[in-house]
Amino acid sequence: MTSFLDRLRIELPIFQAPMAGVSTPALAAAVSDAGALGGIAVGAVDAADARTMIAEVRATTARPFNVNVFVHGPPRADPGREAAWLAGLAPAFRVYGAEPPTALRAIYRSFAEDDAMLGALVEAAPAVVSFHFGIPEPRRVSALRATGAVLVSSATSLAEGRAAEAAGVDAVVAQGYEAGGHRGVFDPTAPDERLGTLALTRLLVQRLGVPVIAAGGIMDGAEIAAVLRLGAVAAQLGTAFVACPESAASPAYRAALLGDDVHTVMTSGISGRPARCLVNRFTTLAEELTNGTPALTPPDYPIAYDAGKALHAAATARGEHGYGAQWAGQGAPLARALPASELVAALTRELRAAEQGSATRTD
């Protein structure tokens, strides 16, 4: 257990989840400087922006950090499905005086086919590279491995964990159904057993030969202590860091997360892939469309996200923030707004206290 953290050269068994669009170089640097593993995600930017982001982290910290890429299968354009989805969203656009786009495009490129991004990562050589939605082909894995990077893949099932291990990753993030944001399922059209963080982490610890990092619903040090008891080498927390001032979350997103009666739901309607979001106007609309008559199916990821972002922009222009992708995990009610360094310090105090048998929070 210690050896994996030693290999990563981090002191604390805490990973900050590399949340595309929410994490920032400043957040990652603050977390890494505090002794945990900060992370940025480059799935929503191109290689040039990725280089800039990595340089920004390095301008602030000399500590190791994680760069996350999206390795989704190529989206299949389906003009009929896309037109039906846009027609379903159209009344919501019109509430805000807008029209839906006439066509949609795949707004993000998968790392599976992005040679420029591979080149940027090989050149920048971050200490950790993590994969979401799947594993790149062997030559890409080998190229990253040759940089000395520690390679990590998410897994939501034993089958995905075994595939990641077979592909040669150094560790697996067990992403439980509780987790906020995009669920890492490799094939979003396959049945999903929706394994919870506790059951999945323990199963992967028992069955895999590589270290397991637990993720999903973890918000405080007592929960970190809990997943370490399962045999995880570390816990990965995303939602816990969303309300940090260093994140890119909008004021409306922060306010929603820190509200009084906070609930989340898994939806494919925002981006085209299952993702856990705060219940808001968009998740409610998506549920209506996908359960309506006829029941609509969102376009493939990330084509649907093009529509979702347009709707969010139209609503925001009229002051309505409820169509944002307000990703959050099931631990959302326990979120707190602290600077990243203070949050890491609180998590550490709570972890130590829990190890001594006291499951208290320090907020």
Q: Which residues bind its own copies (CB under 8 A)?
A: 158, 176-178, 193-200, 202-203, 205-207, 216-220, 222-223, 225-227, 229-231, 263-266, 329-331, 333-334, 354, 359, 361
Bridging pattern class, strands 14-16 and 38-41? unpaired
Question: For residue 339, which phi and psi values (nearest 5 degrees)?
Answer: -55, 150
Q: How far is the CB of 302 from its own copies (least distance, A)?
A: 25
In the complex, least distance from residue 193 CB atom to its own copies, rounded to whole angstroms = 6
Nearest to its own copies of 32, 239 (CB atom):
239
CB of 222 to its own copies, least distance (A): 6
Beta bridge partners of 65: 38
Q: CB-wise, 199 or 248, nearer to its own copies?
A: 199
Q: Name the H helices within 22-111.
A: 25-33, 47-60, 79-95
Closest to its own copies by CB, 233 or 307: 233
- Cα(343)–Cα(334) distance, integer angstroms: 13
- C-alpha to C-alpha distance for 26 and 38, rounded to whole angstroms: 9
Pairing of β 128-132 and β 150-155: parallel
Q: Which residues contact 24 (CB under 8 A, 6 or more apart)?
A: 40, 246, 247, 248
Closest to its own copies by CB, 215 vs 303, is: 215
Q: How far is the CB of 108 from its own copies (least distance, A)?
A: 28
Smallest distance, Å, CB 162 to its own copies? Answer: 12
Shortest spacing between CB 9 and its own copies, in angstroms? 22
Q: Which is nearer to its own copies, 104 or 332 (CB)?
A: 332
In the bound state with its own copies, the residue whose beta carbon lies nearer, of 178 and 246, is 178
How many other C-beta atoms are found inside a 10 Å radius of the C-beta of residue 209?
A: 6
Question: Residue 42 or residue 224: which is nearer to its own copies going by CB?
Answer: 224
Q: Least distance in Å: CB of 235 to its own copies?
A: 10
Q: Which of 23, 20, 28 is nearest to 61 (CA)?
A: 28
Cβ pair 172, 165 in contact under 8 A: yes
Q: Which is nearer to its own copies, 173 or 218 (CB)?
A: 218
Q: Is 275 helix (H, G, I), strand (E, B) or coil?
A: strand
Strands across the sheet containing 128-132: 14-16, 234-237, 212-215, 171-175, 150-155, 128-132, 65-70, 38-41
Residue 294: asked if its preceding bond is cis (omega within 30°), the reply is: yes
